[in-house]
Chains A and B, each alone.
Chain A
């Protein structure tokens, strides 16, 4: 069902854009991938890689969000909670500054995101056990420092400022097959490795101590899941910049519809995240009177109000 819906929305996306294509043209072009017709070029070189990137990024962030929320037992946790976004921004800025013409800003963001998460992890580790609350606080402190450094450097270099800001808005416009290859492999490997941990993630709902009595090697499972969620996040950041709210909102929608059991939550968060971001990307490609806008803006506009709703609900429940 998830696969069929995702295929349907991708097919819809292939028809829609600055040049509208008929369903027949899309069908013909998909059957003849090496045709040199204009619809085939639009579909195979422009729209399909972009839509697949949107699906992978949405799915990866939805899954990473579900994992982070279970690890931190926190409904407001998202894939960036331990410093990935600030790390990505810092890495993108650094590469853009040091190698301005290299086009390696995404690589810088990937490395920055991964490095920030592990720096936060090492800071929180201190002596022995890593406490999840300490990890969030360490990630927050690191985010503040990296965010301040990024802003400081960007203010001093106006050109970098424009590049990094436009990257941070989150866009997959113009992505090609060669940019898609390695992040896709990384996302698929991380997803396949994450799904068998559904029982451990369920056990973490009961707390670390109860997970221990259920035979979970708490430290090892937390570290491994943090690595997998960070890989999903960093690969998404590489492809699309900072896409907000998908990782926060999608797992909550699935919990409301299907419950909190990770056996369903993980795959459904992937498909719902993928469908959501492909839908947002279709809208972002052709906003009336404006034209193409970064997909991150559209996802924020839809995700933002729902985030406020969650905040309100949480306040009511805890009050």
Chain B
């Protein structure tokens, strides 16, 4: 299945009551590929994700899905195109894992389903894919950080949008689960043709799976290219203010970057 391209034109955001600004930024994200946004804290990675998700309204410029400006699309229709998996959040009140996954169906819910709440059958495959089958009726608050992270990703997978934005999706996961999540995202992009864009902090592993890397600093994109080009660039040291060592992965030969 082929999807439209997500792109932004002259995208700029100025924080209210602040001189801090993001952009202007013009660029596009390729469907069927994973784009990783890297950069130090405060570089603008989360701001870009929130602009792409339509949560922040740009001061100027626009985000487009194909030819349609995202902000011109009605809320529920937009949520069938783009969604964002946030970093862990405290829940106002507790819900079960199944109830949270079912929220992924909200954009396409019928009036009958709204009243009966009967949406259970479709979440089984996602629970299985993320290793959450045993957690179906567990309360979200009782889960570990990693399990909560997988539950939130599960909600986005049930939502099943062509564009998936993720804010540090592996931040709370052990290496095994982190790798499993990356495999899920690779499958979504490379097999199902979706556009996957994620803010990512781990320079050691980003080169192993990302198809494109955007290096960000001070609300600007300093370099957008393939991992092979970005990870060898001396800009990386300048942006992160540290000395880095580059080595090759013993099996894939892809680049691993370590801070010294």
Question: A interface vs B, CB < 8 Å?
Answer: 69-70, 73-75, 195-200, 202-207, 209-210, 212-217, 255, 259-261, 263-264
> A206 — which chain B residues lie within 8 A by C-beta?
89, 91-92, 100, 103
| Interface set, chain B 86-125, CB cutoff 8 A to A | 86, 89, 91-96, 99-100, 103-104, 106-107, 109, 111, 114-117
> B55 — which chain A residues lie within 8 A by C-beta?
209, 212-213
Interface contact B111-A196, CB-CB below 8 Å: yes
| Interface set, chain B 73-96, CB cutoff 8 A to A | 74-80, 82-84, 86, 89, 91-96
Contact check: which of B83, B93, B114, B116 meets A213 at CB < 8 Å? Answer: B83
| Residue of A with least CB distance to B76 | A215
A260 to B140, CA, bound (A): 11
Interface contact B93-A205, CB-CB below 8 Å: yes
Min C-beta distance of A6 to chain B, whole Å: 20
Contact check: which of B50, B84, B95, B115 meets A259 at CB < 8 Å? Answer: B95
A263 to B102, CA, bound (A): 12
Number of B residues whose C-beta is below 8 Å from A?
36
> B100 — which chain A residues lie within 8 A by C-beta?
206
Question: B interface vs A, CB < 8 Å?
Answer: 50, 53-55, 74-80, 82-84, 86, 89, 91-96, 99-100, 103-104, 106-107, 109, 111, 114-117, 155, 159
Min C-beta distance of A180 to chain B, whole Å: 27
| Residue of B with least CB distance to A66 | B93
Interface contact A216-B106, CB-CB below 8 Å: yes
Contact check: which of A74, A196, A207, A210 meets B114 at CB < 8 Å? Answer: A196
A200 to B114, CA, bound (A): 9
| Residue of A with least CB distance to B74 | A217
Interface contact B159-A214, CB-CB below 8 Å: yes
> A203 — which chain B residues lie within 8 A by C-beta?
103, 106
> B78 — which chain A residues lie within 8 A by C-beta?
215
Ordered by A's residue number, 8 sampled pairs between the chains whose C-beta atoms are within 8 Å are A74-B92, A199-B114, A205-B92, A207-B89, A209-B86, A217-B74, A260-B95, A261-B99
> A214 — which chain B residues lie within 8 A by C-beta?
79, 83, 103-104, 106-107, 155, 159
> B114 — which chain A residues lie within 8 A by C-beta?
196-199
| Residue of B with least CB distance to A202 | B103
> A260 — which chain B residues lie within 8 A by C-beta?
93-95
A196 to B109, CA, bound (A): 11
A216 to B53, CA, bound (A): 13
